[in-house]
Structure formats: structure tokens, C-alpha cells
Structure 1
């Protein structure tokens, strides 16, 4: 268990680790603390932004979106390796995740597969968003990878944590894929080496593909749009929305587990990309189009 660092201590820790720090506006007091506590902190979480352009990326992470106010992290790691500090305190980056993963992080042991979304990660993790399209093709420059290594080690060093405390968003929340394109085993080894660790980092779990039940997904697509508010009726919606985000068809802020009008429109675009038209591209998932989406963005479809 660790009390979060002060903003000044955090800045100094990064500088001591050789990080190129850029302070953005009122970052020391920009937070979401009125929405709940921040701390105790237990680890570091790394994300990708699904954006391009450093200036735009930093601004989005600082301000957030409609329905998802900023800051969306504590630091934004741009492709040039600079770390832009945009907030300090509770930030909208981790969301709800698996309590068993949190237990493993605290124990610095091997991570279980994340299959629940019931625990407040915004409270317990330092978060860094990394400028990358997240499509598996956008490159990760050496400068950016070095910055991820350094910020992770800096925080672990202050709290006397091992590299096992550094996880990906995909390790924490079902349906997430970020940061896509990084060899995470190698990154954890780099962080461990920087910390002077001799024991190997705990083995990461073998990746298992999320499973989406077509019948439950269709039921959500039919019932969610007319429902009051934004109910989440089936967890598999998040998996499909994450795929639509990666496909560039859905804005990340709408990846909320609610198969509402915006998600219907995004899925209809996917159906049209698959060659469907008219009533066959109405935004209600069919097996063929869903299996094509799953094959491309790594999830399994069952009836």
C-alpha cells in the first residue's frame, strides 16, 4: 500500500530518472478528486491513445471528451519521448477492472486473466497515455519506449515496487487491447533491469481471446438504444466497441458498454465495409460480420 506522491515529488522522480518532462498548465491541481478518493496507489498502468499528432493528443488527454472529462491520465508520452504532465490526482484512465488482477499486482505475482470489471482502477493506478493509433501498425519509436521504461521505473523506485507493478490496460479491463504493438515481456524486462532487479519478472498469462455471445449482443443492440440512460446489459458490448474503436469507426469516448445509437451507427459502418447494404447494414450484428470483426480484432464469437 502506498500513499500517492506529491506533484513535486513525482516531477523530481521523473527528472532523476532522466525523463524529458513538459509541464502543461495547471496540471498539479487538475484532477477528478471530487468523484472519489485517489489512493492508496498500487501500480502503474500504460495505455495507447488511438490518436496522432502530439499537440492534439496532449490536449485531448488534458481536457477529455464529452462524457469523459479530463485528465485522462497523469502523463502523456508522445512519440518523441517527451512526457507531458496533464494532471495529478484521480484521473479517468483505468476505469473498472478485475479485483483479482489488483490482488496479483499488490502481491507482485503472475497476473490472472481479467474477466471482471468491478474495481475502481482510477483510484489505485498511476496512468500514462502513449501517443499511438493502436492499430498494431503504428510504430513505437525507441525514444517513446525508453520514456515508458523510465517513467515506470521512476515510480516503482520511489515506492520500492518491482517491475511487476507495471501493467497494461488490457491486463486490467476486459475488452481492452492497449497498448497494442509493444513487446510487453521485453518492456517489463527493461524496467526490471533499470531497477536493478535480479529475479525475473513474473510470467505473464497466456493471452486468451474474449468471447462474444451473438444472441446476447443482438439483444443489447435492440434494447439499449430506446432505454433510458445508458444501461450496460451485456459485458461483451465492450469487446465489440473496443474493436470498432480500433477500426476507426467509433470514437473512444463511446466505448462505454452501452450498445446505443452511436454504436449502432458504428456497427452499420462496419457492415457496409463488409459489403452489406440496405436492411443488411442496419447496425444489428449478424454472425458473418461479427466473426469478421472478431478475426481482425481478436475475439471469438459464439451463438
Structure 2
């Protein structure tokens, strides 16, 4: 008997298997647990949606419809191979099926033909809905087939199940045909659960192949604004106000001093205190210097930027 894995573990397992995952809303707590038990879990069931379009299909599987409330599965696998997680817990995906089939899944034995509907599959199976019209003509892209196998393998790996624990809806419930359709093109080979299980077995025989994380982009170096020409003690220029603002940002001028276009005594004193605090100026033996040049302007702006 296997307890259902927590939502965060499910997400981590899928990603570790190399699956691209999209999280949809409150999927971690979106379920039908109030209507019946969830677990023990014994396998993974694969379906097709009988819909087209990613947004429409994901919304339907998340919300359900008037006669069958959502979620209708745990994940929706789109044509590009992205798994959209829409629920976690009991979901309306499997319905009643054959208890002989469930016993075979638990024993990981060949499946018998389903001939009755007496056992609650929603309790015992994880479910993935794959976007496909289900008409036998709508092709399954290779990326979607691979994502289906990897999603199933991820859950099997966590629960120490074999590929025999992965079944199709048609193998569980009489009258169902999913999943079906050609792989790749209309003339491609037919998708069968045996093909999916064979790929799941290959994946389980190897280590998970999660994609390597992309390195974080290096931050661009800060570029101070250009030094304004003519900025000097005693001058009245708009750039003096910009100097006062950055002196405040760097901590060398009190915020209580009003800003003005006048490069007056308060500004001179603040610039001098900046120079005294700067290692390069201290090393040069400069004790009180009210002038700000291009190098000092750049250093002051960088200091203020780093303090944000």
C-alpha cells in the first residue's frame, strides 16, 4: 500500500524526471477529498481529453463541468509536453472500474479484460489527461508522448512501482478508448499503452535525467550617470540639486537639508565628508575637499546605488 505523495514531492518528482511543469492556481489544495477517500494509491492512469487547445483544456480539467465537477485529473499534458498541474488529492478522472484490474495493477501482473464497474478508481490512481481529440486521427506529438511516459515514470520511481502500474483509461473502464491516436503524424504508428509502458520501463532502468538548471544571469554592472559639466562650489546649476540628492542617498547629507540649485556651504561640507570617507582620498592625504570631479561623481553614485 502506498500513501499519496505530498504536493511538493509530486512537483519535485516530475521535475527530477525532466518534465516541464506549469502550476495552475491553487492546485495543491484543489481536490474532491470531501467526497471520498484519497489513497492508498496503486498506479497511474492515462487519459485523453477529447478537446483541443491548451487554455481551454486546462480550464476544463481544472474546473470540470455541470455534471462532473473538477478537478478531472492531477495534470494536463499539452501538445508541447508541458504538464499543467491542476489538482492534488482525489480527482474525478477514473470513475468505477474492475477490481480484478486493480488487483493486477497492485501485483504488477498482466491486466485482465475489464468486465465490471465496482471499484472506485478515483481513490487509487493518479490521473493525467493528455490533450487530444480522441478520434483516432488527431496525432500525438513525440514531445507529448515522452512527457506522458516521464510523468508516469516520475510517480512510479517515487513509489517503487514498475511500468506495469501504468494503465490506460480503456484498460480500467469498459467502453473507454483512451488514450488513442497516431504518434507524430496521421500516418504515424498507433499510440498504445504497451508503447508507453515500454518507455516508462526504459526510464525507470536509468537514473532521472532532469535538465541542468540554467545559470542565473549575471547582473549588469551599474553605470553612473555622466558628470555634469560646470558643477563646482559656488556655482548655481540644476546639477547641484542632483548632487545633493545623491549625497543624501549615500548618507553624507542630512535629509532635512532642502535641495537647491546652489552648490553652497552645506553641499561643500557633505562632499568633503564623502572624500574623507573614501579610501582613495584618505590614502592621498586629502582631508577637506569640497570639489567633486568625474571620478568622485561616479564613486558617489555607485555608493548610493549599492545602499538601495
Deviation at 1:38, TM superposition (A): 0.1
Unmatched tracts of structure 1, length 5 or more: 198-303
Q: Quote the residue 1:208 is aligned against.
A: none
- Partners of 1:176 and 1:189 lie apart in 2 by 22
Unmatched tracts of structure 2, length 5 or more: 182-190, 207-308
1:184 to 193, 199, 216: 193
Write out per-residue CA displacement over residues 211-242 of structure 1, whole angstroms, 9 at most, x where no aligned residue: xxxxxxxxxxxxxxxxxxxxxxxxxxxxxxxx
Q: Quote the residue 1:9 is aligned against.
A: 9
Q: Normalising by structure 2, what TM-score?
A: 0.63
- Partners of 2:195 and 2:175 lie apart in 1 by 23
Deviation at 1:127, TM superposition (A): 0.2
Alignment partner of 1:51 is 2:60: no
8 A Cα contact 2:179 2:192, kept in partner: no
Alignment partner of 1:161 is 2:161: yes
Q: Quote the residue 2:140 is aligned against.
A: 140
Could you say what the CA RMSD is over the residues aligned between the two structures, in angstroms? 0.8
SS of the residue corresponding to residue 127 of structure 2 reads strand
Structure with the greater alpha carbon radius of gyration: 2
Alignment partner of 1:103 is 2:103: yes
Q: Quote the residue 1:121 is aligned against.
A: 121
- Partners of 1:190 and 1:103 lie apart in 2 by 23
Q: Normalising by structure 1, what TM-score?
A: 0.64
SS of the residue corresponding to residue 205 of structure 2 reads coil
Q: Quote the residue 1:23 is aligned against.
A: 23
- Partners of 2:103 and 2:90 lie apart in 1 by 20
- Partners of 2:89 and 2:194 lie apart in 1 by 29
Within 5 Å, which residues of 2 pair with 1:1-303? 1-181=1-181, 182-196=191-205
- Partners of 1:146 and 1:186 lie apart in 2 by 11
Deviation at 1:184, TM superposition (A): 2.2
Count of aligned pairs between the two proteins: 197
Deviation at 1:195, TM superposition (A): 0.5
- Partners of 1:84 and 1:140 lie apart in 2 by 17
